Amino acid sequence: MVKHAFGGEWTRIKLDRLESYLNIYTAALKYQPFTLHYVDAFAGTGQRDDEETNSDSLLELEALKGSVRRALECKDTFHEYHFNDLKREHVIALEELCVEYPDKVIHITQLDANTFVTNLCRKLGRNDRAVIFLDPYSTAVDWRTLQVIAATKKVDLWMLFPISTLLRILPQNGPREEWRPCIERLLGTTEWEKACYVEDEPVIRDLFGDQEAKLQRSKHEAVIQFLTRRLREIFPHVEEPTRLNQKSGLLFLFYFAVSNPHPKAKALAEKLARAIQPRL
């Protein structure tokens, strides 16, 4: 069996919150005339192989369930499941895992995640509703993919954003040209520099008193607020992100966004998301 080791306590928090939402989402909509889709664009192997041991074997087994198993084991099921991963060995592992669920309608693909999500969103019909989970490898999700999701008006999105990676490619002493394409693909704008950097105290360059202003990266909070504002420009509702930390500091932001602008749909999604808000 292919092993897929990742994460720590923050992974448990993320997966527990996702699982809680999937359960109350399917329960809330099970009598509605919708076809419900669960979409995992970076599905991995379907389970988490943690090198850390746990004295309680039942707790350890529960922790090892990845997003795929948790979705498949919801009490009130989705009508269709869509699992994608770019790695062939992960796809094979997913195919083996899904044999355990013969009663489920499961689609497995091996595509670039942006292509996979875009194709799926464009196929959603009038009576389709979906929850999309984006748990990317580093900076793999393009901003234009988020725009496609938002345009469906049918999707609730859970997304892990790699804020620690973004901060690494936003050096303290000013932006680097080689990182501009990646940042603009990730944030979908050329305006990021104005938001993510401020002018430092000017430095006197020579004896004549000429001054040179240098850029200094904004504080973490300013970068996070900029990202959240950007998401709120395309989604009708975006919750404040859950901050997932490790001993080394902030690693990820876990966002929940609603694409349906209808007041009742927004209100329901907000209520469900806040009902499972973890105490961090």
Which pLDDT tens digit goes with each residue over 68-124? 999 999 999 999 999 999 999 999 999 999 999 999 999 999 999 999 999 999 999
**pLDDT over 90 (residue 238):** yes
Alpha-carbon span 124 to 118, nearest angstrom: 10
Q: Which residue has the higher pLDDT, 172 or 209?
A: 172
CA angle 37, 162, 52 (to 5 degrees): 85
Average the pLDDT over each of 30-34, 130-134, 152-156, 202-206 and give the range with the smallest value. 202-206
pTM to 2 decimal places = 0.87
Mean pLDDT along residues 182-208: 80
Residue 206: pLDDT over 90 = no
Mean per-residue pLDDT for 229-235? 97
Neighbours of 221 (CB within 10 A): 8
- What is the rounded CA–CA span in Å between residue 241 and residue 116? 25
Tell whether the model's pLDDT for residue 58 goes beyond 90: no
Q: What is the mean pLDDT of residues 186-209?
A: 76
| Distances from the Cα of 166 to the Cα of 65, 119, 175, angstroms | 28, 27, 12
Mean pLDDT of 225-231: 96
Enumerate domains of the chain plus CATH numbers. Answer: 9-172+220-275 (3.40.50.150)
